Amino acid sequence: MPEPTKDYDNLPSVSPLGAPLDWAWLRGAKSEWGVRPKPSPRGLTMLDIAVGSYGEVPDHPTHRSMAPRGADIEPGTPDMGYILNDKVDVWADNTRELYEEAVARQWSATRDIPWNELQELDDDVEHAMCQLCTLLTEVEMIAADLPAKWMWRMNHEFIEAKMFLCTQMMDEARHAEVFRKRALANGGGLLLSRNGATSLLRTIIEAKSYTQATALMHLLGEGFVLDLFRMGELIAPSDVEKRIFRMCMQDEARHVAYGTMHIRYSVEHDPDVAEEVHEALDHGEMILTEFGTAPDVSTALAVLLAGGVEHVEDKGFPLSLEMTKKQFSSYLARCERAGISRLERTKIPLDMLGIDIETIRNAGRAA
């Protein structure tokens, strides 16, 4: 920028109330002035403004304050108590894109679900749907609590990652809302909550590091929920639930995409992270398998997939097994993409599930 030509020296040095005044900011600063990012066709995005030094995310920030990245920062800023101060701790290369997508695709569980179209269902199917909704209402909010637990500990220089996690928390509130509403909306209600779900949630919330927590939650837990939503067309007893699953699915895909890319970024930049993630997943896979085979989860799903109790054995359980196979396959392929191959290490009974290792490897490579 050109040197200021105005005479700033004549500006008052004391306010009308006698407080000292500082006009130094008028003289420009070390930060990049004159940068004028151009809006893209969809508007001025976070990607558009990631220009020059404003777009540079430091590997090891020197500040631990809430000063905006790219501003001139007064020396001696207070320490906010951040413990996640390295880029590898939280970053993923898709955070800006995912944040923009999240903001653009927010929806309303009140307005965007055709609640008036709900029809009376067979009692068993309604019960099964309500049992599934009870479980989903319970587990959805862990994916809000977990980022909340860690976010205030993340260095403010990683603002885009924090902004994305805020969208995830809002998404999860809406998921808890929509499944709670569905449980109540058609005469069923909330059914049985078992201890198994809470054990899984405790494992996630108590993870020792954020990266372990994100592996357990984004990669494993939410990955499985994402595949459940993907099967929504088969599970849903009516178009209302199909719509619910579709809307939730697009949100969940973003959460899983962040987690996958975060683990990948961490492992690429700090190979020691891989073992830490493996240890978390060794334990997480075991707990999740126990949870997935819990007697009420598996039966509720089988009834929904069979359209009632009559065909639960010849249709419900075979479809349910297909679904489990798909969930484990896409989880393992996701691990490949994240750079932490589980194929040689997992205790998941791949043979029993009919999962072929080479197919997973290729799926991971192709992504």
Is the CB of 226 or the CB of 287 nearer to Fe ion? 226
Please tell me the total number of residues recorded for the chain in this structure.
367
How many residues contact Fe ion, by CB under 5 A? 7
The answer to whether residue 140 forms part of the interface with Fe ion (CB under 5 A) is yes
In a 13 Å sphere around the CA of 313, the CA atoms on its Cβ side amount to 1
Give Cα 8 to chain centroid, integer Å. 49
The answer to whether residue 87 forms part of the interface with Fe ion (CB under 5 A) is no
Under rule CB under 5 A, which residues in 172-231 are in contact with Fe ion?
172, 175, 222
Is the CB of 82 or the CB of 331 nearer to Fe ion? 331
Under rule CB under 5 A, which residues in 16-45 are in contact with Fe ion?
none
Is the CB of 82 or the CB of 99 nearer to Fe ion? 99
Measured between alpha carbons, how far is residue 197 from residues 138, 194, 268, 284, 291 in Å?
8, 6, 33, 13, 7
Q: Which amino acid type is present at position 162?
A: K
DSSP-assigned states of every residue in 178-207:
HHHHHHHHTS-------HHHHHHHHHHHT-
- What are the structure tokens assigned to 279, written together? 């240890």
Is the CB of 51 or the CB of 141 nearer to Fe ion? 141
Provide Rg for the chain, Cα atoms.
25
255, 262, 278, 337: which one contacts Fe ion (CB under 5 A)? Answer: 255
Q: Mark the segment that binds Fe ion (CB under 5 A) among 60-68, 109-117, 130-138, 244-252.
A: 244-252
Is the CB of 222 or the CB of 285 nearer to Fe ion? 222
In angstroms, give the least distance from the CB of 252 to Fe ion.
5
What does residue 350 show for φ and ψ, rounded to 5 degrees?
Answer: -60, -40
Cα–Cα distance, 135 to 21 (Å, whole number) = 59
What does residue 356 show for φ and ψ, rounded to 5 degrees?
Answer: -95, 125
In angstroms, give the least distance from the CB of 140 to Fe ion.
5
| Element containing residue 330 per DSSP (H, E) | helix 317-338
The answer to whether residue 143 forms part of the interface with Fe ion (CB under 5 A) is yes
Is the CB of 222 or the CB of 241 nearer to Fe ion? 222
Q: Mark the segment that binds Fe ion (CB under 5 A) among 47-55, 151-159, 169-177, 181-189.
A: 169-177
Q: Mark the segment that binds Fe ion (CB under 5 A) among 109-117, 132-140, 195-203, 275-283.
A: 132-140
In angstroms, give the least distance from the CB of 172 to Fe ion.
5
**Contact positions toward Fe ion, by CB under 5 A?**
140, 143, 172, 175, 222, 252, 255
